[in-house]
Amino acid sequence: MNSILRNQSGAAAVKESGVRNVVLHGLLAAEYKHIVPNLERVTLKAGQQLYRAEQKIEAVYFPEDAVIAMIDKTKDGRTVEVGIIGREGMVGINIFLGGAITADQAIVQIAGRATRMRASVLRTETYFGSPLQQLLLEYARTFLAVISQSVACSQHHSIEQRLSRLLLSLRDYTQAREIPLDQASIAALLGVRRAGVSVAASRLQEQGVLTYRRGVIRVVDGRSLEKKTCECRQFIKAQYAQFQRSVAARSTRSSRDRALPVWKRKTPSGARRPRRGRANP
Ligand SMILES: [Zn+2]
């Protein structure tokens, strides 16, 4: 982690660290400064595979500006994206849910920074009633809702609608009109043939909504792209917005609580903190 976060403490450290990840931000605001030595800032490359399917999860990732796709792969090699994770979330939620193995691949779609934490540290910190447990329960609920909607989307909505939603989602994360994404990656994410992607992209290009050149898609008319997509776009946005509001409210409550004398603080009922100490790798 960077030196600012190492040497300072409390809310100032969180603010000045530039941590943008919603879960990590909520974590550090909730008196988790002691985990800082266990955090490592990493730069992820596009196409990098963080997890292979059926592999033991060694570390979880809190994306900052990197974007990671969770991809389900069948035995005959067909793939489909079941969830995109950016700064609002955490890659490796199975660890929190008691699993050690990932069912899906995790592949970096947009290069960028993330913070990595050993899975063993996360397990140690998610004891019953802890603020982290509450935070991740809420994230898990949100992510499950997103996955459910993604399944419905892949069954009932057209390639054009799903392509539009994917591009809008990546544009939200990158805050850029140009999205580095080739047709093979789009086909793998949508779980369709490249020919289908080509037809949908060509149609959107003809309508002046986007341009497509050498693995880079430029969104020319975002408003029209919003109209092209399905209702899943708003549903998923609403889920993450609700999660972010909840984390913000939790952080405010936590700060208020810390300002009180110890005997007046509201600790979660039944919370049991295990013996403090760095977890074994
Ligand atoms: Zn849809």
Q: Return the CATH number at 248.
A: 2.60.120.10
Residue written as token pair 């509201």: 266
Distance 239 CA to ligand 1 centre (A): 14
CA of 149 to the centre of ligand 1 (A): 7
| Residue reference for tokens 């605001």 | 29
- Across the range 141-158, mean pLDDT stands at 94
Looking up tokens 């959107």, which residue turns up? 204
What separation in Å is there between the alpha carbon of 163 and the centre of ligand 1? 10
Residue 207 lies in a domain: no
Q: Number of helices (H) and strands (E), helices first, in the chain?
A: 11, 12
In a domain, 268, yes or no: no
Euclidean distance between CA atoms 3 and 82, whole angstroms: 36
167 in a domain, yes or no? no
**Residue 184, domain member (yes or no):** no
Is 99 part of a structural domain of the chain? yes
Structural domain boundaries, residue 51: 3-128+243-263
pLDDT of 270 reads: 45
CA 82 to ligand 1 centroid distance, Å: 12
CA of 150 to the centre of ligand 1 (A): 7
Measured in Å, residue 94 CA sits from the centre of ligand 1 at 25
Helix/strand/coil for 128: coil
| pLDDT tens-digit series, residues 38-62 | 899 999 999 999 999 888 999 999 9
- The pLDDT value given to residue 279: 43
| 271 assigned to some structural domain | no
Task: Give me the number of domains the chain comprises.
Answer: 1
Q: Note the pLDDT of residue 51.
A: 95
Distance from Cα 48 to the centre of ligand 1, integer Å: 27
* Inside any domain, residue 253: yes
pLDDT bucket at 244, cuts 50 / 70 / 90: very high
Whole-angstrom distance, CA of residue 116 vs CA of residue 269: 30
Q: What is the pTM of this model?
A: 0.84
CA of 146 from ligand 1 middle (Å) equals 11
Name 67's bridge partners: 110
Give the per-residue pLDDT at 205: 96
Please say whether the beta carbons of 70 and 119 come within 8 A: no
In a domain, 173, yes or no: no
User: Between residues 135 and 35, which one has the greater pLDDT?
Assistant: 135
Task: For 88-140, write each residue's pLDDT tens digit.
Answer: 999 999 888 888 888 889 999 999 999 999 999 988 888 878 888 888 999 99
